[in-house]
C-alpha cells in the first residue's frame, strides 16, 4: 500500500505533462512555421511537421480520462460527442475524406487546451520559459524580415494533396510599409505570437520590463500591419499598468472583471453589421478591410448556408465547413468565405450548441482563479473580433486553454451543487504584489 502511494504522484505528473509538451511543440512549430516548413521539406523530414498532432492525439485520450471519467463532467462528455458528430456532419457536407481528415486534425488542439482545466499555466515553469523565448525570437524575426528576404517566402509545399504557399512579402493598402511576417511566414500570426507570448510572460515580470518590451512589441506588431493585434496589445498594456496601480487586494478581482467584460466583444460584429452594413468598401483605404468584413466575411457564409443546408443555421454545418478544410479539399470551395471572426466561424460549424457552451464558459469565469487563463480570455476575445484563429493550430489551442476552466473539478462540482472543498495552499511568489488564488495542481512542473 505504501509503495503504491509513493509511486502515484509520479504517474500523475507524467500524465499531466502531456498537455505542456503538446503546447510547447505546437508553439515552436507555428511561431517559426515558415522556417520549420521550409527546412523540414528540403531535408525530407516532412513527418516532423505533424509531430505536435501526434502528441495532441494523446491529449484527446487524456481529456476523456481526466475530464469525463475523473471529473465526471457531463459537459465534457457532451462537448466530445458534439465535436465527433460535427466531424461526421462536416464529412457529408464537404464530401471528401481529405476534408474530414483535415477537419479532425484541425480540432485536435482543442483537446490540448482543455487538458489544462485543473492546473495553472503558471505552474509549468519550463513551458513558461519556452513561451518567453518565443516572444523574444518572434520580435527579432519581424525585425529581421524588414531587412532580409527569408528563404521560405513564396515556398510551396503539399499537404493532403493541396498545394500551399508560405506567405508572400507584400505591402499594406494605402501605405509604404511591408507586411512583415517574421519566422511565422504570416504577418497576422507573427503578430499573434508576439501578443500572446508577451501577455503570458508579462504576468511575472516587473512593470518596467512590461513597459520597455511592451513598447518594442507594439512597434513590431505595427511592422506586421496587423491593426487588430496592435490595438489589443496597446489596450492590454494600459490595463496592465492600471491594475498594478490598484491596492493589492483589488487586483485579482479587477483582472476577473476585465476578463468577464471582454465577452462583450463577441457582439461587436453584430453591432457593426447593423451600423454599417451596405457601406461601400473603397479599395486602398484604411477602413477597407473592416467594411469588407461587415458586408461579406460576416454575412455571406449565412447566405450560402441557407442555400446549401438551411438546417445548418441551427445545427451548424459540421467541423471544417467555411474553414480551410472546405477551401482546400471540398467541391464546395467556391462557397468558401474568409469568415475572419472566431465566434461566427465556430457557430457556423457547431450551431446553437456552441452558444450554450459559451454560456457555461462565461459562468465558469466567476469561479476561475488562474490569472493566466483570465488574461488569455481578455486577449483572445478582443483579438478574434477580426480573426478566425483556427490556423495555425496554436491559435485555436490558446483559445481552448482560456476556456478550459469550464471543465475543471471546481466548475463541475459547482454545477452539480456540491460543496467545493477549500484547499490550503502554500504561499506563492508575489507577481509584483499581485497574489491570485491559484488552483491546486498535481505535482510540480
* Residues lower than pLDDT 70 in the chain: 1-16, 153-178, 284, 416-445
Q: Which of 177, 265, 169, 276 is nearest to 219 (CA)?
A: 177
C-alpha span between 371 and 255 (Å, rounded):
7
C-alpha span between 219 and 213 (Å, rounded):
10
pLDDT, tens digit (0-9, with 9 covering 90-100), for 119-160: 999 999 999 999 999 999 999 999 998 887 777 766 555 555
C-alpha span between 382 and 268 (Å, rounded):
10
pLDDT score at 442: 37
Percentage of the chain with pLDDT > 70?
A: 83
Contact 180, 187 (CB under 8 A): yes
- DSSP secondary structure letter of residue 156: E
C-alpha span between 60 and 392 (Å, rounded):
18
- Tell the burial category of 159 from Cβ atoms under 10 Å away from its Cβ (0-12, 13-18, 19+): middle
pLDDT, tens digit (0-9, with 9 covering 90-100), for 285-326: 777 888 989 999 999 999 999 999 999 999 999 999 999 999
Q: What angle, 0 to 180 degrees and rounded to 10, lies between the N-to-C axes of helices 18-31 and 97-114? A: 120
Sign of CA dihedral 356, 359, 363, 368: positive
pLDDT score at 163: 52
pLDDT score at 156: 59
C-alpha span between 418 and 123 (Å, rounded):
27
- Phi (first) and psi of residue 308, to 5 degrees: -85, -40
pLDDT score at 418: 59
pLDDT score at 394: 95
- Cell 469588407 locates to 292
Amino acid at each position: 500500500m505504501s509503495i503504491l502511494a509513493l509511486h502515484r504522484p509520479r504517474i500523475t505528473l507524467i500524465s499531466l505533462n502531456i498537455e505542456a509538451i503538446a503546447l510547447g511543440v505546437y508553439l515552436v512549430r507555428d511561431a517559426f512555421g515558415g522556417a520549420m516548413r521550409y527546412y523540414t521539406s528540403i531535408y525530407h523530414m516532412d513527418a516532423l511537421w505533424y509531430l505536435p498532432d501526434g502528441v495532441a492525439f494523446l491529449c484527446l485520450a487524456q481529456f476523456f480520462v481526466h475530464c469525463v471519467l475523473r471529473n465526471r463532467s457531463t459537459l465534457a462528455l457532451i462537448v466530445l460527442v458534439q465535436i465527433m458528430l460535427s466531424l461526421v456532419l462536416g464529412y457529408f457536407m464537404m464530401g471528401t475524406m481529405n476534408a474530414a481528415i483535415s477537419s479532425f486534425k484541425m480540432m485536435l488542439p482543442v483537446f490540448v487546451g482543455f487538458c489544462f482545466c485543473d492546473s495553472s499555466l503558471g505552474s509549468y515553469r519550463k513551458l513558461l520559459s519556452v513561451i518567453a523565448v518565443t516572444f523574444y525570437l518572434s520580435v527579432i524575426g519581424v525585425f529581421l524580415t524588414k531587412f532580409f528576404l527569408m528563404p521560405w517566402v513564396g515556398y510551396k509545399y503539399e499537404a493532403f494533396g493541396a498545394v500551399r504557399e508560405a506567405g508572400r512579402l507584400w505591402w499594406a493598402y494605402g501605405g509604404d510599409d511591408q507586411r512583415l511576417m517574421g519566422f511565422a511566414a504570416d504577418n497576422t500570426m507573427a503578430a499573434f505570437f508576439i501578443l500572446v507570448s508577451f501577455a503570458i510572460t508579462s504576468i511575472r515580470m516587473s512593470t518596467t520590463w512590461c513597459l520597455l518590451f511592451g513598447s518594442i512589441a507594439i512597434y513590431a506588431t505595427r511592422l506586421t500591419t496587423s491593426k487588430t493585434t496592435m490595438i489589443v496589445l496597446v489596450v492590454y498594456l494600459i490595463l496592465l499598468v492600471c491594475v498594478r496601480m490598484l491596492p493589492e487586494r483589488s487586483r485579482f478581482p479587477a483582472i476577473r472583471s476585465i476578463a468577464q467584460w471582454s465577452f462583450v466583444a463577441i457582439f461587436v460584429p453584430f453591432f457593426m453589421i447593423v451600423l454599417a452594413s451596405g457601406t461601400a468598401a473603397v479599395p486602398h483605404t484604411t477602413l477597407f478591410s473592416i467594411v469588407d468584413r461587415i458586408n461579406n466575411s460576416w454575412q455571406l457564409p449565412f447566405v450560402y448556408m441557407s442555400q446549401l443546408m438551411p438546417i445548418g443555421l441551427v445545427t451548424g454545418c459540421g467541423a471544417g465547413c467555411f474553414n480551410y478544410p472546405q477551401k482546400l479539399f471540398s467541391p464546395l470551395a467556391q462557397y468558401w468565405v474568409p469568415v475572419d471572426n472566431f465566434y461566427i466561424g465556430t457557430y457556423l460549424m457547431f450551431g446553437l450548441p456552441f452558444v450554450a457552451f459559451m454560456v457555461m464558459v462565461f459562468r465558469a469565469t466567476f469561479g476561475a482563479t488562474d490569472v493566466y487563463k483570465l488574461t488569455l480570455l481578455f486577449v483572445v476575445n478582443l483579438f478574434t473580433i477580426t480573426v478566425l484563429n483556427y490556423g495555425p493550430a496554436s491559435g485555436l489551442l490558446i483559445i481552448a486553454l482560456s476556456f478550459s476552466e469550464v471543465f475543471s473539478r471546481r466548475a463541475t462540482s459547482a454545477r452539480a451543487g456540491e460543496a467545493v472543498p477549500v484547499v490550503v495552499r502554500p504561499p506563492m511568489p508575489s507577481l509584483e504584489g499581485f497574489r491570485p488564488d491559484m488552483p491546486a495542481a498535481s505535482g510540480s512542473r
